[in-house]
Amino acid sequence: MLPSLRVLALSFLVTLTLGQTFQFPRYVFLQFLGLDKVPSPQKLQPVPSILKKVLQDREVAAATGASPDLCYVRELGVRGNVLRLLPDQGFFLYPKKRPHASSCLQKVLYFNLSAIKEQGQVTMARLSLDLGPSSYSHLGPELELALSLVQEPRGWGRSTPRPGKVLALQSVPWPQGVLNFNLLEVAADWTRNPQKNSGLFLEILVKEDRDSRESSQLEDPCARLRRSLHASLLLVTLDPEQCRPSWKRRAAVPAPQASCKHLCHRHQLFINFRDRGWHKWIIDPKGFMANYCHGDCPFSLTTSLNSSNYAFLQALMHAADPDVPQAVCIPTRLSPISMLYQDNDDNVILRHYEDMVVDECGCG
């Protein structure tokens, strides 16, 4: 049976750290991380507050000895092992003539979902529109928001985006702060059919009244909206391969005394991402204690080395027939980690990885 991708990835890290020559390409580990190539960002992007909170809560839980389900995002109430906050890559549309008190701004919102390659499902897609800080002392005009899918181009040479299917209509006072919209069905469809992702069409109308007209004389509210408008898409995906039922973490078996240090046991191994040059795109952690298993599995001590029944039978058969391979020292308990990194599109991603830390070793 071929080793799994995560075993190859962990072996890659171990061989690099030990200074050994690895026998398989670097792309295996990058594929495990969901990357096509090593990211080379010009600078590290700021960590979104929601991703920072999720990571901090998990670190606190791990420090207290708890074993949280890292495939459940408690802060959002959804299942998932990959969190992405995608920035808007769209553009404003500037009509040549804008009637007074009519369309204030039109913008195409576009989120690049091409980096989503894992075989999983979208469990959450939340669009956030930041219209500027809320204010209770200086209320501006009422806004009408229309959010639609961008209509697919029809006819040769037609390139001007137009609104299609309406997703949301909402009237809000302004300044309002952040508005959130559920786009789960839309994002799921885009991941299944990337060619359908033509973006979103956002149109904001200003309904000026007598009071707001006086305040708008000081500054055009549309100009303020263009400066303050910020859009992002929080996307949570669940990969069942990475979120299968896993072992419960427990205390590791103590390392043997010096007299039996050659026997199978866990060895400490800290993987430092800076040594690999990966600190430029891996934000957190700076490294982790991966550990590894090494040592002999003699027949006389197989049952006392945290071994399986099959390992005992294999050792018994090896004693009778040397052609039967001897039991080997392997991990018997592993733990997951969470990693915060920047991908090839400069998106900040928080991702959960199963079986990255060796907690116990045994003969198998």
**Same domain assignment for residues 220 and 249:** no
**Same domain assignment for residues 74 and 176:** no
Closest by CA to 187, choosing from 92, 114, 287, 99, is 114
What is the spatial distance between Cα 24 and Cα 193, in angstroms, rounded to a whole number?
33
Q: CATH code at 232?
A: 2.60.120
**Does pLDDT of 247 surpass 50?**
no
Give tens-digit pLDDT for 180-217: 999 999 999 998 888 899 999 999 988 765 455 555 44
What is the spatial distance between Cα 196 and Cα 47, in angstroms, rounded to a whole number?
29
Give the per-residue pLDDT at 253. Answer: 42
Burial of 294 (0-12, 13-18, 19+ CB in 10 A): middle
Query: Longest C-alpha distance within the chain, in Å?
Result: 97
Instruction: Report if residue 8 sits inside a domain.
Output: no
| Distances in whole angstroms, Cα of residue 68 to Cα of each of 58, 246, 249, 322 | 7, 11, 10, 45
Least confident range of 30-34, 183-187, 252-256, 282-286 = 252-256
SS3 278: helix
Instruction: Report if residue 279 sits inside a domain.
Output: yes
SS3 122: strand
Q: How many domains does the chain have?
A: 2
CB 123 within 8 A of CB 82: no
pLDDT band at 337 (very low <50, low <70, confident <90, very high): confident
Domain boundary among 184, 216, 237: 237
Give the per-residue pLDDT at 305. Answer: 64
What does the pLDDT average to over 49-59? 88
Give the per-residue pLDDT at 83. Answer: 93
Give the per-residue pLDDT at 19. Answer: 55
**Does pLDDT of 80 surpass 60?**
yes
Domain boundary among 180, 215, 237: 237
Instruction: Report if residue 340 sits inside a domain.
Output: yes
pLDDT band at 257 (very low <50, low <70, confident <90, very high): very low
Give the per-residue pLDDT at 30. Answer: 72
CB 66 within 8 A of CB 102: no
Better-predicted residue by pLDDT, 296 or 147: 147
What does the pLDDT average to over 266-281? 86
Domain boundary among 218, 237, 256: 237
Better-predicted residue by pLDDT, 214 or 264: 264
Instruction: Report if residue 224 sits inside a domain.
Output: yes
Please count the other Cβ atoms lying within 10 Å of the Cβ belonging to residue 128: 16
**Same domain assignment for residues 196 and 106:** yes
Cα angle 289-7-263, degrees, rounded to a multiple of 5:
65
Better-predicted residue by pLDDT, 98 or 35: 35
What does the pLDDT average to over 129-140? 70
Give the per-residue pLDDT at 248. Answer: 44
- Cis omega (within 30 of 0) for bond into 285: yes
What is the spatial distance between Cα 353 and Cα 49, in angstroms, rounded to a whole number?
21
Better-predicted residue by pLDDT, 263 or 181: 181
CB 256 within 8 A of CB 153: no
Instruction: Report if residue 319 sits inside a domain.
Output: yes
Give the per-residue pLDDT at 93. Answer: 87
Better-predicted residue by pLDDT, 343 or 75: 75
pLDDT band at 111 (very low <50, low <70, confident <90, very high): very high
What does the pLDDT average to over 339-353? 85
Q: What are phi and psi of 80, to 5 degrees?
A: 165, 150
Instruction: Please give the mean pLDDT across all residues of the chain.
Output: 77
The whole domain housing 302 covers 33-79+240-363
Better-predicted residue by pLDDT, 43 or 123: 123
Give tens-digit pLDDT for 305-315: 666 666 677 77
**Same domain assignment for residues 179 and 98:** yes
CB 155 within 8 A of CB 198: no
The DSSP result for 19-37, as a single string, is: TPPPSS-THHHHHHHT-SS
Q: Report the C-alpha dihedral over residues 42, 47, 51, 55, rounded to 10 degrees.
A: 100
